[in-house]
Amino acid sequence: MARILIVDDSFVARMCLSNIMIALGHIVVGEAVDGKQAFDEYARLKPDIVTMDLNMDGSDGVQAMSAILAEFPEARIVIVSARQENKIIFDALERGARHFIMKPVSPEKVIVVLNNVLQQTFDKQKHLEFISRLKKTYDSDNSLLAANKHRSARVLIVDDSAVARKILREIITELGHVVVGEAANGAQAFVEYAKLHPDLVTMDLTMEGLGGAEAISKIVAVDSQARIVVISSMEVRQGIIDALERGARHFILKPIRKDKVAIVLNNVLQQEFNLQKHIECLRKMKEREDSLVLVDAAKKVIPPYAISISDKSLLHVFINQSITLTGCQTLFLELEEHLNSTPRVLLDFGTMSSLEEQLLIKINELVEAIENNSGMVKAISNDKRFVDTIAATQIENKANALADILRFFEH
């Protein structure tokens, strides 16, 4: 059992890592959101291990690591980062980090790395040999990247979530492409496309104002060769089909991962567009939709959640019956940018009639994260039986935070 300090500017990442550490029997003694706070917390807590994000606002992870090791050379620091550029990882290891874990974090990855760092005596010579082996392993990948530089594309990112845009920007850059612009809604996307003429557009579907589907239609109307990839949290695939019929070339469902983005972008950029094959693909998707009865007769798309911001201080989050664990994870990511300063959040479950236990646990984690960040969170439902069911539900070894704040509200 180890005492762990978690350093990451993402509350979702900190929550995820904390849950894994606790499940593995370790103790999370503290958290930090930037490099300066990381140094102060290390000096105060003297943890057994620090997990350190690399890319943070203000003092980044590399600077924080250098400062900690200069004062506490015995510090055991494990890099946990989504940045997969080899030279950044090598630099952190050469500066004194003991090991690294690439996001997305999983219990399997954490177990292996923590056991290595905690149980083995640190040997500087072996550490340098480890870095040398890593460099040799990645030489072939670096050569391949150099050979494929001519395939890099100019990309426009369209998403109303600053967090989603940041994640995409990092992934697209790591894949060797160039982000030439960003837009937060469909109208801005159309203007930016006309101005920048990018090679490829990543387009969110659910945005305030002009949505992604309408933006696709406007862009394709003026440039039939536009290469648009839909990136959406919508798990009802009729929305994807609609976007593809309007002219989008491909799609990626959130949560966004580097491997997904790499496969789809390579497909769209390197393969010549074949309209006949595109239509055939759409036909097959529609047949699958009809057989699974995933949409109603009117083909109305109901997203798993929606976020409305009123008077710039209250976040009204509508949660629908179609929410899943994946939808919860995406919701956390989209809320993250709003939760850095004492947020006020209203969770509206509307006419939902039930909530699976795993989903309830996830919603509870969100409630606790908001409250731990000095925020205020309330929840309402217009189904009295739903409220009573949640109130009566007991979660093993945990308090039911949602039951404490959920109230019946007929609306």
Averaged pLDDT for residues 32-40 = 91
Ordered alpha helix ranges (H), 247-295: 258-270, 275-292
Q: What is the pLDDT of residue 139?
A: 58
For the record, the structure tokens of 341 come out as 């300063």
Averaged pLDDT for residues 316-338 = 79
Q: 115: which residues sit within 8 A by CB, 6+ positions away?
A: none
Q: What is the pLDDT of residue 295?
A: 42
Task: Look at residues 109, 144, 179 and tell me which one is the last residue of a structural domain.
Answer: 144
Ordered alpha helix ranges (H), 151-211: 162-174, 186-196
Tens digit of pLDDT for each residue in 286-309?
A: 776 655 544 444 445 567 788 877
Q: What is the pLDDT of residue 277?
A: 82
CATH code of the domain containing 384: 3.30.750
Least confident of 32-46, 126-140, 172-186, 235-249: 126-140
For the record, the structure tokens of 66 come out as 């250098």
If one compares 177 and 338, the residue with the highest pLDDT of the two is 177
Rounded mean pLDDT of the chain? 83
Tens digit of pLDDT for each residue in 204-240?
A: 988 877 889 899 999 988 888 899 999 876 555 678 8
Looking at the predicted structure, is the pLDDT value of residue 281 above 70? yes
Averaged pLDDT for residues 20-28 = 91
Tell me the helix, strand and coil percentages in the chain, rounded to 5: 50, 20, 30
Do 134 and 195 have their domain in common? no
Range of the domain at 276: 149-292
Do 263 and 312 have their domain in common? no
b/e sequence 33-71, b meaning 16+ C-beta within 10 Å: bbbebbbebbeeeebbbbbbbbbbeebbbbbbbbbbbee
What's the pTM?
Answer: 0.52
299: in domain: no
Do 175 and 52 have their domain in common? no
298: in domain: no
From CA 60, how far away is CA 52, in angstroms rounded?
Answer: 9
Q: Please tell me the total count of domains within the chain.
A: 3
Averaged pLDDT for residues 145-159 = 71
